[in-house]
Each structure stands twice: as C-alpha cells, then as structure tokens.
C-alpha cells in the first residue's frame, strides 16, 4: 500500500508544500485571507487576479505575504488586456508559481514567466491541449472536468483523468480538479498517477473565506443536482457554459436570451448588439452574489461537489478532513 505522502510527493515538492492540494483560484473569493489560510494549513493557495489591475494585484500579493510565509501562487486570465504588466508584477513580487487560465496561453507568455524562474501551470481540457501546453513549456497541468464550479469544458473529470494521466503523468505533474469533495476521490486520482488535486467549491465556506454569509448559506443548502451549467437558447448565440447553483438569475438568463433573440429576429437589434446583450447579462454577477450577498440576481458559481459542503468550518479543518478520509481509504487496502 502506498501512503498519501509518497503518492503526492512529486506534487508537494513541485508546489513546495506539505500537501499537494491547490486551492483553485476563485474570482472575488480567493483573496489574501483564504489564500493565506490554505497555505498556512499546508496546501497551496492561489490568488484569483481575474480583472484586477496590475496595482491591485501587487497590493494583494503584498498583503498575502503579510499573512503567510508559505508558498502561494497567482492565477492570471490570459484574455486580460494587461497580461504582460501582470506578469511583470509577478516577477517583481517574486511569485513562484503562475497559473494561466481562460484558454491556451502563448509560448511568449509562458516564456516570460519561466525566464524569471517561476513555474507555469495551465489547464488541459483535452489530451491534445495538454501535449501542446507541454511543448509550449508549461511545468504542470491542471485537468479540470465539467463537474467543477465556474467556467467549464464539456468533458467530465473521470474521463479527462483516464485520457490524460496515463499518457502524460511521467512528463509533468498533473493536478486533478472538478468534483472533488472527499479524500477518497483525491486518493483515487493520486493512485491513477496524478501528482495532486485542485479544489474550489469545497473551500468557499471556509471560515476565512470572505464570501458573503448568504452565498455560503446557498452552498450549504444546495445539493449536487442544483449546480447546473448555464443553458444556451440558440446555436447562433453562443453562451460560455458556467456551472452555478440555480437561482432566479438562471431563469432570468433563459428569458433574456429568448427576448433578445426575438428582438434580433424582429430586426430591432443587430446580431452583434444581441450577442453583447446576452454576454452582458452576467457582468459583475459573481461579485453581486459572493460579495454583496444578492443570491437571487447574482451568480452562485459552484461545482457539483457543493452537495458535500455541509457547514462553515476553518480551512485547516477542511484540509484535515480530506487528508483523514484519504488516509483511511488507503489504509483499508
Ligand atoms: C466561485 C468560483 C469562482 C471561480 N473563479 C475562477 C477563476 O477566476 N479562475 C479560474 O481559473 N478558475 C476559477 N474557478 C475554478 C476553480 O479554480 C477550481 O478549478 C474549481 O472550483 C475546481 O472544481 P470544484 O469546484 O469542483 O472543486 C472558480 C470556481 C468557483 C466555484
């Protein structure tokens, strides 16, 4: 029987942590408090830069350093108009690990991070993309299935794991994300050859998380089946799938799409304006729910593992529970 510590040794060494558990960056939620709490508990916190300006990111990194001396990373969205400046901030602040999200990063961006000695981690939503990312120089992959919260791809974690881990596990460390709510699942992916995991939903209700009490309550109440992907009404008007707990906004979004498409068909809106109106619907929606507490009109982004979120509890306790479950599971063999 292999012990947890040896199963994830490579991942833990890569991250510089005790546990190879990354706290997946969550816009608005993964700020200094939760990030530092994850790192202090032995995991790897990741700041969600999202749409922050370079100055705001610099400040967030500095404030996080005041709360922890442990390693943590920064997640950058590659569509950010000031991506190069954000990389400069990471370099100046000596960020050791940069996670590139939101699409396929260019070799130039990857090189600009590696040049100053940091590690680059990126998302592989398919085997072929994983191979391409490795060719472009990334140091580790996150494979995130459609069970995850937030923006999702079409393939489940279990299938991505089977397609990617056996082929690429000897090339770079692989972290599995999406739908992990208990230690048994974590241990199983490690036994398949993953180097670690990334979890998001399970950490939203951490005591240290600044998410609004209403947002946390919605997570504690929800079952797995309540966290569904956004629905696209018309193939001509694409919608990026986002998994969230169903609420009034979910219904409003369906209606807005149908009304907008009707306006387009009646010649009252151009195609471009109709598409923009649909895209605009969710602008600021996560902040509205997660920070302002408007859980009716905001977006309750959450993964299917939300059904395993039962209460607010300290980050260290969440990680210890996962590790306890993983150890018990491995000991039973
Ligand atoms: C509320 C919320 C916000 C998220 N925001 C981001 C983000 O800004 N960037 C990103 O790369 N992933 C984001 N994610 C995905 C997480 O980083 C993580 O990969 C995912 O939550 C893992 O799946 P799980 O929720 O099933 O644990 C978000 C997830 C949630 C639930």
pLDDT at 283: 80
Pocket residues: Cβ below 6 A from ligand 1: 24-27, 29, 48, 50, 75, 101, 144, 147-150, 177-180, 198-202, 301-303, 305
Atom of ligand 1 lying closest to residue 123 CA:
11
Q: Is 226 helix (H, G, I), strand (E, B) or coil?
A: helix
Ligand 1 centroid vs 25 CA: distance in angstroms? Answer: 6
Residue 125 Cα to ligand 1 midpoint, Å, equals: 14
What kind of architecture, by CATH, is found in domain 2-211+308-331? Alpha-Beta Barrel (3.20)
Q: What one-character-per-residue DSSP string does 88-141 give?
A: HHHHHTT-SEEEEESS---HHHHHHHHTTT-EEEEE-SSHHHHHHHHHHT-SEE
Instruction: Note down pLDDT in tens along the chain; length 333 residues.
Output: 469 999 999 999 999 999 999 999 999 999 999 999 999 999 999 999 999 999 999 999 999 999 999 999 999 999 999 999 999 999 999 999 999 999 999 999 999 999 999 999 999 999 999 999 999 999 999 999 999 999 999 999 999 999 999 999 999 999 999 999 999 999 999 999 999 999 999 999 999 999 999 999 999 999 999 999 999 999 999 998 999 999 999 999 999 999 999 999 999 999 999 998 998 888 889 999 999 999 999 999 999 999 999 999 999 999 999 999 999 999 987
Residue 332: the pLDDT is 84
Give the pLDDT confidence score for residue 240 in this predicted structure: 87
The pLDDT of residue 35: 98
Minimal CA–CA distance to 121: which of 202, 22, 193?
22
Written as one string, the DSSP assignment of 177-214 is: ESS--SHHHHHHHHHHT--EEEE-GGGTTBTT----HH
What pLDDT sits at residue 96? 98
Domain map (residue ranges) of the chain: 2-211+308-331, 223-301
Q: What is the pLDDT of residue 282?
A: 87
Distances (CA, A) of 287 to 58, 127, 256, 277: 20, 33, 20, 19
């Amino acid at each position: 029987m292999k012990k947890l510590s040896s199963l994830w040794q490579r991942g833990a060494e890569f991250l510089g942590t005790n546990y190879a558990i990354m706290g997946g960056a969550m816009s608005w939620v993964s700020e200094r408090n939760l990030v530092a709490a994850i790192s202090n508990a032995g995991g790897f916190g990741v700041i969600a830069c999202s749409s922050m300006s370079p100055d705001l990111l610099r400040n967030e990194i500095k404030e996080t350093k005041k709360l922890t001396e442990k390693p943590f990373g920064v997640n950058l969205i590659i569509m950010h108009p000031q991506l190069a400046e954000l990389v400069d901030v990471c370099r100046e602040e000596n960020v050791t690990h940069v996670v590139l999200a939101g699409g396929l990063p260019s070799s130039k961006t990857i090189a600009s991070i590696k040049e100053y000695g940091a590690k680059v981690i990126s998302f592989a939503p398919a085997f072929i993309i994983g191979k391409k990312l490795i060719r472009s120089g990334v140091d580790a992959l996150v494979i995130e299935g459609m069970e995850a919260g937030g923006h999702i791809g079409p393939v489940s974690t279990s299938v991505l794991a089977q397609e990617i881990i056996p082929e690429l596990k000897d090339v770079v460390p692989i972290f599995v994300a999406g739908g992990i709510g208990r230690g048994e699942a974590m241990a199983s992916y490690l036994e398949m050859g993953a180097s670690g995991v990334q979890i998001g939903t399970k950490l939203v209700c951490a005591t240290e998380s600044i998410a609004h009490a209403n947002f946390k309550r919605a997570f504690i109440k929800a079952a797995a089946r309540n966290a569904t992907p956004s629905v696209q009404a018309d193939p001509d008007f694409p919608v990026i799938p986002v998994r969230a707990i169903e609420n009034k906004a979910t219904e409003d979004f369906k209606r807005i799409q149908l009304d907008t498409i009707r306006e387009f068909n009646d010649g009252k809106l151009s195609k471009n304006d109709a598409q923009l109106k649909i895209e605009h619907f969710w602008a600021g929606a996560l902040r509205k729910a997660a920070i302002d507490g408007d859980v009716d009109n905001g977006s309750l982004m959450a993964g299917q593992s939300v059904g395993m979120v039962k209460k607010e509890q300290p980050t260290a306790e969440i990680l210890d529970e996962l590790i306890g479950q993983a150890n018990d599971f491995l000991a039973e063999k």
